Chains A and B, each alone.
Chain A
Amino acid sequence: MSETESDIETLRRFDDAMFSARGVETGYGDLQVLYGVDIDIQDDEIVLVFGPNGAGKSTLMRALFKQLPLWNGTIEIGGEDCSNLESNQMVTHGVAYVPQTSNVFPNLTVAENLDIGGIHADDVGRRHEMFELFPRLAERQSQAAATLSGGERQMLAMARALMPDPDVLLIDEPSAGLAPQLIEQTFEHVDQIRQAGTAVLMVEQNVTAALDVTDRAYVLDMGENRFEADADTIRNAQRVRDLYLGQ
């Protein structure tokens, strides 16, 4: 076993991380899904979470955003303990979340979706920044979100979440259901979001493409941390390739 590969088993912990979750346990009813997951997100970092189906990736996102109650564990944002917040308080603590599905208000227009995104924002110029990042949305402002294409809807979902200029954006499967050329564009957007100063934590099945923009990755399996390393190390680790990338 090479040194690189043994490293990925050791979960690094970043004590100065802007967002850090420790020992997260949660589930649905009696069914426990997460058994003590650690996640750190540093400033301006793109972090990828991947793993097999049923690993608990989406559940992790929901738990980190407090959509699910923490059975155990803590969430700290900027050094402040946020374990007991309600999900509607996360935005004011600098965290935004884009769910995988149902991630726009279908009955509201594009502009109104952004109004809702901006209820906790004071920057009126923010909307123009969103239209620069997603020019398509500017053309569709008065259109109901229900009538958007899949790609446009994903852009609107991201723009809505970005309106309050969050420190960290949690995105669940941004490329799910998109055409191949749009998948690449989605990851470009993720990269631009980071360049504009928002760290990103994303869950993605499209691992190879996602790793191209990612700084660091966690592999989740059976509700636990399995591997953690920089994107390059993960990409080249034989065991990750054998187990999760199918190559």
Chain B
Amino acid sequence: MGLDTFLQAVVSGLIEGSVIAVGAVGLTLSYGVTRFINFAYGEFLTYGAYLTVFLAGGLFGVSLPLPAAAVVATVVVGALGVAVSRTFFEPISDRGALPLLITSIGVSFILRNLLQGWVGVDARQLPIPLLRRQDYFGLFRLTHLELGVIAASVVTMLTIHLLLQRTMLGKRMRATSGNRSLAKTAGIDTTSVIRQTWFLSAAAGALAGVLYAVLFSPFRPGVGFEYLIVIFAATLLGGIGRPYGAMLGAFCIGLAMNFGSTYLSANYTRAYAFLILVGVLLLKPEGIRGGEF
């Protein structure tokens, strides 16, 4: 195993890191303003992936091109996120983080089983051709789709960065994250800001689900819930509630998983993420307390 293997592991790590980053940013955004870890977040990934399959595969009577299907699915799941928040989380939002967290576990069961009851447990996959990896500079190999995943992730990160730093909505979100009571005092309609954040969070989750499905088809209704542990690891590593930390954490986890698979054993890919998660909780437990963005 030489330089070639090493570089390929780096590239694979960056590709998977791109997916994790989109997922981790979405999770951390909702945590930043609501202050509870949403265990139903994985279902947004699942719904994003399945909706894209259905929209692209003609289940609803139309067969959209894959990118268009992904965009529609992302927006629909964003709206689903707002609906979930209004139905389950807003009514108990003043009861503290623990009831919300437990409710979110219940919501994840509801969403997962609804989907499973509807589509069954059979594995599905996106209608994408099997592509050969192309050689780049004689150093590493990538498919066009993998390049597309990286590009989609980079564009998402940049968009979220610009949204948070340059737009008034972003500043309202950051103000609400930093000091919700003072945000209200300053005249911000925090309820509305929180709903907008839920939209963004769920939409980012859905996009992460689509990107995951592009790379790792086929998948089943448990896909999002199972991948949640990887996203948690990235989110906590970067300090939950901090989008830039989540992005950085995601690439670390992606690299760790792929180095582990390459040099140790490919049977434990998720376990490497889990080990980092445990390590963060042991060595840097303040990661779970979180910050603001």
* A residues whose Cβ falls under 8 Å from a Cβ of B: 65, 67, 86-92, 97, 99, 102-108, 112, 115-117, 119-120, 160-161, 164
Known: A65-B185, A106-B178. 6 other contacts (CB 8 A): A88-B187, A89-B187, A91-B186, A102-B182, A105-B175, A106-B292
- Taking the nearest CB of chain A, how far is it from the CB of B4, in angstroms? 44
Residue on B nearest A144 in the bound complex, by CB: B178
Contact sample, A vs B, 29 pairs, CB 8 Å cutoff: A65-B185, A86-B184, A87-B185, A88-B184, A88-B185, A88-B187, A88-B189, A89-B187, A91-B186, A92-B187, A97-B185, A99-B181, A105-B179, A106-B179, A106-B292, A107-B291, A107-B293, A112-B175, A115-B168, A115-B171, A116-B172, A116-B186, A119-B172, A119-B186, A119-B187, A119-B188, A160-B186, A161-B185, A161-B186
CA distance A108 to B186 in the complex (A): 14
Residue on B nearest A164 in the bound complex, by CB: B187
Partner of A99, one of B171, B174, B177, B185: B185
Q: Judge whether B79 is part of the interface by a CB distance below 8 angstroms.
A: no
Residues of A within 8 A of B18 (CB): none
Q: Are B293 and A91 in contact (CB under 8 A)?
A: no
CA distance A97 to B185 in the complex (A): 7
Partner of A107, one of B178, B181, B186, B189: B178
Residue on B nearest A106 in the bound complex, by CB: B178
Residues of A within 8 A of B181 (CB): 67, 99, 102
CA distance A107 to B243 in the complex (A): 13
Residues of A within 8 A of B293 (CB): 107
CA distance A102 to B180 in the complex (A): 10
CA distance A203 to B190 in the complex (A): 27
Q: Judge whether B75 is part of the interface by a CB distance below 8 angstroms.
A: no
Given contact pairs A115-B171, A119-B168, A119-B172, A104 touches B182 in the complex (Cβ within 8 A): yes
Given contact pairs A89-B187, A102-B179, A116 touches B292 in the complex (Cβ within 8 A): no
Q: Are B182 and A105 in contact (CB under 8 A)?
A: yes
Residues of B within 8 A of A104 (CB): 179, 182
Residues of A within 8 A of B171 (CB): 108, 112, 115-116
Q: Give the A-B contact count at a CB cut-off of 8 A.
A: 72
Residues in B161-179 with C-beta less than 8 Å from chain A = 168, 171-172, 174-175, 177-179
* B residues whose Cβ falls under 8 Å from a Cβ of A: 168, 171-172, 174-175, 177-179, 181-190, 291-293
Partner of B174, one of A88, A108, A161: A108
Residue on B nearest A160 in the bound complex, by CB: B186
CA distance A106 to B291 in the complex (A): 11
Residues of A within 8 A of B292 (CB): 106-107
CA distance A107 to B292 in the complex (A): 7
Q: Are B182 and A103 in contact (CB under 8 A)?
A: yes
Residue on B nearest A89 in the bound complex, by CB: B187
Q: Are B184 and A87 in contact (CB under 8 A)?
A: yes
Residues of B within 8 A of A116 (CB): 171-172, 175, 183, 186, 188
- Taking the nearest CB of chain A, how far is it from the CB of B96, in angstroms? 14
CA distance A112 to B176 in the complex (A): 13
Residues of B within 8 A of A67 (CB): 181, 184-185
CA distance A112 to B171 in the complex (A): 7
Residues of A within 8 A of B182 (CB): 99, 102-105
Which of B178, B181, B187, B188 has the most A CB atoms < 10 Å from its CB? B187
CA distance A89 to B190 in the complex (A): 11
Residue on B nearest A93 in the bound complex, by CB: B187
Residues of A within 8 A of B186 (CB): 88, 91, 116-117, 119, 160-161
Residues of A within 8 A of B168 (CB): 115, 119
- Taking the nearest CB of chain B, how far is it from the CB of A99, in angstroms? 7
CA distance A89 to B189 in the complex (A): 8
Residues of B within 8 A of A106 (CB): 178-179, 292
Residues of A within 8 A of B187 (CB): 88-92, 119-120, 164
- Taking the nearest CB of chain A, how far is it from the CB of B121, in angstroms? 43
Which of A65, A86, A104, A108 has the most B CB atoms < 10 Å from its CB? A108
CA distance A161 to B186 in the complex (A): 7
- Taking the nearest CB of chain A, how far is it from the CB of B178, in angstroms? 4
Residues of A within 8 A of B184 (CB): 67, 86-88
Given contact pairs A88-B190, A102-B179, A115-B168, A107 touches B174 in the complex (Cβ within 8 A): yes
Residue on B nearest A146 in the bound complex, by CB: B178
Residues of B within 8 A of A89 (CB): 187
CA distance A161 to B182 in the complex (A): 10
- Taking the nearest CB of chain A, how far is it from the CB of B170, in angstroms? 10
Question: Which 7 pairs, one residue from A and one from B, show the smallest C-beta to C-beta distance?
Answer: A91-B187, A107-B178, A105-B178, A107-B292, A88-B184, A116-B175, A120-B187
Residue on B nearest A119 in the bound complex, by CB: B187
- Taking the nearest CB of chain A, how far is it from the CB of B31, in angstroms? 14
Residues of A within 8 A of B183 (CB): 105, 116
